[in-house]
Structure 1
């Protein structure tokens, strides 16, 4: 039996615009963006082929990617000035 996973997700941050682009997630994955204080800053459902999220301001964020058929995937994103 093949294991279903979101570990192959590709996360790219455009530091000039504060745009976060996610690809290679399973369709239907819920993506939650939290700031460093643990406040929810965004909730999105991934649909193929990609998801784009605008980060509101500089700081450290945590992305939680949750799909009912696999373990949650968590990534840290640092949005800092150039």
Structure 2
């Protein structure tokens, strides 16, 4: 089996270990935290006012409504809808 490497020329399991040690998050949690932050920035942009929350979530890198809603609530403590209403 060929050894998988990232663009940094590091083995995937080494990158995962670095994330676990440096951020106390696994790869999935790290990426989804980045995506939630991207969503929070994008959803407030004027150009995104007329599109759905899920369209912005998909544009932010999520590909599942369930994963988006679950992870958003896990790290923000509120639903995406509640967050959007409080920022309006």
For the pair shown, the structure with the greater C-alpha radius of gyration is: 2
> Which one has more relative contact order, counting CA pairs under 8 Å at least 6 apart?
1
Q: Same fold (TM over 0.5)?
A: no
Q: Which has the higher helix share?
A: 2
